[in-house]
Structure 1
Amino acid sequence: MRWGVAACLLMTLTACGNGVSKKQEPGAQAVRLKSCALPLQVTSSPRRAVAMEQNATEIMLTLGLGGQMVGTAYQTDPVLPELKEAYARVPVLAKQYPGREALLSSRPDFVYSMRASAYAPEAAGPRDGLAKLGVPAYLSSNDCEDPALIPPSAEIEALYTEIEEIARIFGVQDRGQTVVAELRRRLEEAKRSAPANLDASVMWYYSGTKTPIIAGDTGLPGTFSELLKVRNAFADISRQWAEGSWEEIATRDPDVIVLADLTRGGDGDSAQAKKDFLRNDPVASQLTAVKENRFIVVPASSLDPSIRSVSAIEQVGQGLARLYG
């Protein structure tokens, strides 16, 4: 498996010791934009940023911004190997989301999350409240507080835009463009490498055993299916993720099952736990994909917008080539 984009760029984007480029130090700038309809303004490049979960953190570290971070939180997967050293230098504020008091105790000048739940009252609190305290807070368009603002499908272009906006906020536009250009190149290569004219249905299985959580059509797995020219077995569900039933799954009998690998330790979280269940359950064990051992494993975090998302397309494309080559 090839290195991710972070590894490809780490040598050129970061300086030894702090994750900030020697050649391109962030410069003072004023940036105004809208994040999930809320105005966001920074008067100069943040120096004390907090990323509220791992996907946001990994985007910042890939952009070489570790030296401008005073906090991270909510680690869901092992950190990308190429970012591990930089990640270890960032203080962990909480196992999950830090509360408002814990967040403000780090004296942040910018907060970034890819999940609206980070700004719940029991977590960091609403973004407009943070703004009144002089702390601009960015939220990914994939998970706005108002569901009406969330696009009807998760597009890779939205991820590219987000990376470039974060780069602009920190005054490192060139880095953002470099990261996005590499992601675009890899995506095109992954699409070309996937099997052509493949008539196969894919079930994207996130977690759970008794009640499995599977991908509908509006999240990234739906977009991945289109890019790889396979059929999402549950494309008729207009939700990012939904509760399924094994009886309905048996009726649709997907050709391939993509297993999300989670490390949190819950029911059916890890890929191995899913495999063990599928092979032993009286209904699930009769699925064609299970009988034929047609499994493809990807990190769970790559199925939400993140620096890992193109890697998921690569991995699934390579898996399809292996199964049907």
Structure 2
Amino acid sequence: MLALVVLSGCATVAASPAPPAAAAVTVTNCGREVTVPAPPARAVTMEQNATEILLSLGLADRMAGTSYQTDPVLPALASAYAGVPVLAKLYPSREKVLETRPDFVYSTFTSAYAPDAAGPRAGLGELGIPAYLSRFACEKSPAGFTFDGLFQEIEEVASLFGVRDRGASLVAAQRARLAAATKHDETSVLWYYSGTSTPYVAGKGGVPAAVSSRLGLRNVYGEAGVTWPAGNWEQIATRNPAWIVVADLTRGGDGDSARSKMDFLRSNPVTSKLDAVKAGRFITVPGSSLDPSVRSIDALEAVNARL
């Protein structure tokens, strides 16, 4: 049996070839049946979140391509990632995807299946290519993020690749880290994702909401009806959060990097008076950890440790 290795907060296993023969596996995924007649051997992942899930399951040698890298790959996965062909800086075209002769396509965002990307899942299915989409990004009625839902997705993907034991080991490692978190007595927190003139903050249904619930925090925009609502600074000043979690995004836009966010908060006449700003109560997390992935537990641990 392959040994499990836990490195840099991510469980990985040594790679191995697909089983020579196995029964077909079918799952119901976002309202569609996805069937693999045998464990995929030429998978394409459409963005980094999906990529790191497969790499964490030790499946680098069964990946025909990857795309849309937003952050440096987790250190524990870097050498495995180096052997996977990169199809495009952002999303590859449908033609580019088909050139790889994939037997499985996996995405954690609906946008990957747009006509100018891989194309609709139904169309890929008609070509005999199973196309899987994260339950948190379903075309209709996507699920709100929960850690249990993430773990179910990891185990489901592992079952499609015929590596159920690896999925169980990865989930067990993440569950153990989740169980180690402590409660923080309704401490108020603002999750600041991007923007300066209009700040985009965390509402309900996403990773920040799940982290807040798990740690016993009070998200000052927890009542918002969407995952990433537009806030305003006067309202934030009234709510005066005790802590501000700043997402560090690498895309280079206004208010994307953690440094630009903190500089703005200190210089803006309204936000400079916030108790959290005056006391320097900032918590920085990678932006990618706020999307459902093996990194989501990293966001929880970073907040928990700083508090």
**Range into which the TM-score falls when normalised by the shorter chain:** over 0.9
Q: In the superposition, relative to structure 1, how do residues 41 and 25 fare at CA in structure 2: closer, same or farther (>3 Å)?
A: closer
Q: Does 1:156 align with 2:150?
A: no
Match of 2:207 in 1: 220
Cα distance in 2, alignment partners of residues 238 and 204 from structure 1: 15
Q: By how many angstroms is 1:4 displaced?
A: 3.6
Match of 2:84 in 1: 90
Cα distance in 2, alignment partners of residues 76 and 199 from structure 1: 32
Q: Which stretches of structure 1, 4 residues or more, deviate above 4 A after TM superposition?
A: 24-27
Percent identity, please.
55
Match of 2:3 in 1: none
Q: Does 1:136 align with 2:130?
A: yes
Matches within 5 A, 1:225-264: 225-264=212-251
Match of 1:177 in 2: 168
Cα distance in 2, alignment partners of residues 204 and 21 from structure 1: 40
- TM-score by structure 1 length? 0.90
Question: 5+ unaligned residues in a row in structure 2: which ranges?
Answer: 1-5
SS in structure 2 of the partner of residue 83 of structure 1: helix
Q: Does 1:53 align with 2:43?
A: no
Match of 1:210 in 2: 197
Asked if the contact 1:112–1:137 (Cα under 8 Å) also holds between the matched residues in 2, the reply is: yes
Q: Deviations over 1:104-143 (max 9, x none)?
A: 1111110000000000111111100000011000000101
TM-align CA RMSD: 1.5
Match of 1:284 in 2: 271
Q: By how many angstroms is 1:29 displaced?
A: 3.0
Q: Deviations over 1:208-243 (max 9, x none)?
A: 111111000121211111100010110110211111
Q: In the superposition, relative to structure 1, how do residues 167 and 135 fare at CA in structure 2: closer, same or farther (>3 Å)?
A: same
Q: By how many angstroms is 1:3 displaced?
A: 4.9
Asked if the contact 1:164–1:173 (Cα under 8 Å) also holds between the matched residues in 2, the reply is: yes
Q: By how many angstroms is 1:199 displaced?
A: 3.7
Match of 2:116 in 1: 122
- TM-score by structure 2 length? 0.95
Cα distance in 2, alignment partners of residues 54 and 159 from structure 1: 15
Match of 1:17 in 2: none
Query: Which of residues 33, 48, 58 is equivalent to 2:27?
Result: 33
Asked if the contact 1:155–1:220 (Cα under 8 Å) also holds between the matched residues in 2, the reply is: yes
Q: Deviations over 1:63-106 (max 9, x none)?
A: 00000001111111111011111111111111111111111111
Q: By how many angstroms is 1:33 displaced?
A: 0.8
Match of 1:21 in 2: 16
Q: By how many angstroms is 1:32 displaced?
A: 0.5
Code of the residue aligned with 1:46 in structure 2: it is: P
SS in structure 1 of the partner of residue 289 of structure 2: helix
Cα distance in 1, alignment partners of residues 186 and 7 from structure 2: 29
Code of the residue aligned with 2:142 in structure 1: it is: I
Code of the residue aligned with 1:150 in structure 2: it is: P
Code of the residue aligned with 1:21 in structure 2: it is: S
SS in structure 1 of the partner of residue 64 of structure 2: strand
Asked if the contact 1:4–1:311 (Cα under 8 Å) also holds between the matched residues in 2, the reply is: no
Asked if the contact 2:16–2:61 (Cα under 8 Å) also holds between the matched residues in 1, the reply is: no
Code of the residue aligned with 1:183 in structure 2: it is: Q
SS in structure 1 of the partner of residue 193 of structure 2: strand
Question: 5+ unaligned residues in a row in structure 1: which ranges?
Answer: 15-19, 321-325
Q: In the superposition, relative to structure 1, how do residues 27 and 319 fare at CA in structure 2: closer, same or farther (>3 Å)?
A: farther
Query: Which of residues 273, 284, 296 is equivalent to 2:283?
Result: 296
Q: Deviations over 1:156-197 (max 9, x none)?
A: 111001100110010000000000011111100123xx54xx
Match of 1:110 in 2: 104
Cα distance in 2, alignment partners of residues 67 and 268 from structure 1: 38
SS in structure 2 of the partner of residue 82 of structure 1: helix
Match of 1:310 in 2: 297
Asked if the contact 2:19–2:39 (Cα under 8 Å) also holds between the matched residues in 1, the reply is: no
Cα distance in 1, alignment partners of residues 295 and 32 from structure 2: 27
Code of the residue aligned with 2:109 in structure 1: it is: R
Q: In the superposition, relative to structure 1, how do residues 212 and 93 fare at CA in structure 2: closer, same or farther (>3 Å)?
A: same
Cα distance in 2, alignment partners of residues 64 and 27 from structure 1: 19
Match of 1:323 in 2: none
